[in-house]
Amino acid sequence: MLRAEGLEPVIIRSSCSEELLLPLAPQEYVMALAFRKGQSVFERLKEEGWGQEVSARAGAEEKPLLIISADTIVFKDGRVIGKPEDEADAFRILSGLRDDVNSVYTGVCLRIVSGGKAVTRLFYSLTHVRLGWYSDDYIRAYIASGEPMDKAGAYAIQGSFGENVLGIEGPRDNVIGFPLQMIKDVLKAISL
């Protein structure tokens, strides 16, 4: 999505755990994980000396750093549904989501560091997704494609599974796991 906006992001995977032990509401859960991921990346960049080579050059201004971290879950019947552990778990998840509505939450943490100042914004996006009926055979074939194995809720609406979506209430880009328009709106409101 960022490349479509003309940006070339550097993708740095967080090394932090994605498990939280405290009972949290779904929006608090995803925001806490987004913050944890962003903090992990920020600490790694500090250890690697981010910005020092730029600041060391005479007269050079420090380039601002923007870290965008996010985490997405599906929530249904009072349960957080993350990525499937294996194919059997994917089958169980997809069976439980068919012919019903699930809620997709994405928590986002934006951190901008520039000129010795730092600004952090934490927020979430919510979308309700109504899925139609699909057979057990369909689920098995979808799992065999490999697509659901790294997706919260074991599905991706931007892939072939999109044909099962009967309706969406809220931002579509949130269901993809990156609420770009909301991110752009929050970034516009930040001043350093």
Question: CA 109 to CA 179: how far, in whole Å?
Answer: 12
The total number of structural domains that make up the chain: 1
Does residue 4 belong to any structural domain of this protein? Answer: no
Contact between residue 126 and residue 149 where contact means Cβ atoms under 8 Å apart: no
Query: What separation, in Å, do the N-terminal and C-terminal C-alpha atoms of the chain show?
Result: 25
Longest dimension (CA), the chain: 65
Does residue 47 belong to any structural domain of this protein? Answer: yes
Does residue 69 belong to any structural domain of this protein? Answer: yes
Question: CA 53 to CA 79: how far, in whole Å?
Answer: 46
Residue 54 pairs with which residues in a beta bridge? none
The answer to pTM > 0.75 is: yes
Does residue 102 belong to any structural domain of this protein? Answer: yes
Does residue 17 belong to any structural domain of this protein? Answer: no
Instruction: Encode the chain (192 residues) as per-residue pLDDT tens digits.
Output: 777 777 777 778 777 776 765 678 999 999 999 999 999 988 888 888 765 544 444 345 567 788 999 999 999 999 999 899 999 999 999 999 999 999 999 999 999 888 778 889 999 999 999 999 999 999 999 999 999 999 999 999 999 999 999 999 999 999 988 899 899 899 888 876
Domain that holds residue 41: 26-189
Does residue 58 belong to any structural domain of this protein? Answer: yes
Kindly report the CATH number assigned to the domain that includes residue 132: 3.90.950.10
Residues with a known catalytic role: 71
